[in-house]
Amino acid sequence: MQIGTNTLNSIDTIYTVRLNKEQVLVVEKDTKAQEEFEAKKAKKEQEKLLKPTQKENAPNELSDDEEELVKKLQARDAEVKTHEAAHQAAGGGLTGAATFTYQQGPDGKMYAIGGEVSISMSSGSTPQETIAKARQLEASAMAAANPSPQDFSVASSARIMEMKAQQKLSKEQQQKMLGLQTYEANSL
């Protein structure tokens, strides 16, 4: 009977192959090497079983990749909160509370990865009030260090709102001037 080395390796038993006195290959079970192999195998299995327990006991132990991810999440969290705080500070009473989108990190903590601040885009009761409000809206939208596309969109809408109020104010002033000129012409 012939036994290949792949067959010997696949049955998890350690054999020694040697030549006997008659120069014939002999395959024998190597009990000493087998015992060492079994001990190492048992130790590895025990370590595998203990690892989750150790991680539960020491949740602060993170892999290098997990630590790097936590650092990135912390940086993003700080950036998002600073960004939204800048909008709120510049917007004054025109802005609402900030809301955030969170992601849980490998350390179990929640990190802000996105956010927004609601803002009132209503016009004022007069063109002058609307112009002042539009300027404050634009300042609020552009207050963050790195404005987002949404921030640029809000700023653009505020500029349009301001231009319309400027047109209305100009029209009112023009009508007032025409009315004044008509009064002066009639009084002569």
**How does pLDDT run across 138-167, given as a tens digit for each residue?**
999 999 999 999 999 999 999 999 999 999
What pLDDT score was predicted for residue 150?
Answer: 92
According to the model, what pLDDT value does residue 142 have?
94
pTM: 0.59
Which candidate, 157, 158, 143, places its Cα nearest to that of 89? 143
63: Cβ contacts below 8 Å, ≥ 6 apart:
none
State yes or no: pLDDT of 182 exceeds 70. no
- Residue 1 is predicted with a pLDDT of 42
Name the 3-class secondary structure at 72. helix
Residue 5 has pLDDT above 70, yes or no: no
Contacts of residue 73, Cβ cutoff 8 Å, sequence gap at least 6? 103, 105, 111, 113
Give residues with Cβ within 8 angstroms of 18, minimum separation 6: 25, 26, 28
In angstroms and rounded to an integer, the radius of gyration of the C-alpha atoms of the chain is 39
What confidence score (pLDDT) does residue 39 get? 81
Give the Cα separation of 119 and 122 in Å (integer): 9
pLDDT band at 113 (very low <50, low <70, confident <90, very high): very high
Mean of per-residue pLDDT scores for the chain? 82
pLDDT over 50 (residue 57)? no
| Chain segment 21-50, per-residue pLDDT in tens | 777 766 677 777 778 878 888 888 877 777
Nearest 5°: phi and psi at 170?
-60, -40
